[in-house]
Structure 1
């Protein structure tokens, strides 16, 4: 009887902690209508070796508007207006156009400006707090590209993300010069393909 009682309390406490963590993440993200930051992105092999590093600029606005621009030599531009997503690769002179979705695999920044209810329905959320507040998100199903993600905040300001994929690779994204809730021009979230590029439609 005592063991059953302890297990019951443990399970209730665990569920409450999960709910508290998700509620805390929701509160931070709800207060974030726009996000503007520079980033450095580093990809590591399963053995911990650095595979490549890129840098660029992120602009994001709720709901679902994202501009993720990677600087040369690995130049790419991803733009979403919340309905359509464009991926422009200048080296290949190619633009891929698809319908926007809250698919994290396509756009990790969606976590900041996507559907908040979908985050809670898709991930088990836990949180730790020290100098930074770090949320860990574990997918509830096995069909997610990433096995684990973390979001780090200094108070309510995002400082970084880490993503572990099914092959064991780890992607670390560090934000700097971060501003939240600053007005961002809607023009940044539209894209007109340059003349002469190949256009692929991913239905």
Structure 2
């Protein structure tokens, strides 16, 4: 799912791990399987994102497309989101997401096995915040962003992470942006 900066570190054959950095489950470690391109958004970038968002998300509805490790979605749930929908198609990643949801007892997290683009095309649901972090260099962010305005509530925001500069499509403005290594990321706001 997420191909980022450097490959995840493994300690003596242990599973890959990502740490939740804020909220109710702060410091909890989540495990995720090896997989081509399955790498979570780094702590430093997640910290920047949630600083931009105001740290806590009480009552927000969130969508984590291309969920992968679930780092962004579980972080949102930890920070008080009322509902988080995670979309992932890889069976091993899905099993890890389910295990981590049980570990954290995160009731508001819904995990859906589906292709992100197909799911988005067939739903009418709307959200306050959408995470778009497709596999690195996949070029999938563009098609997702083109169809995303209709899935956002008034004032809705989209976090995008990809290998190239983020360009706001019609219906969005770039609120904040940054770069970490080869990854470019931005917070878009619905106009």
The TM-score, its normalising length taken from structure 1, stands at 0.33
Larger gyration radius, structure 1 or structure 2: 1
**Larger proportion of strand:** 1
Higher relative contact order (CA 8 A, sep 6+): 1
Normalised to the residue count of structure 2, the TM-score between the two structures is 0.34
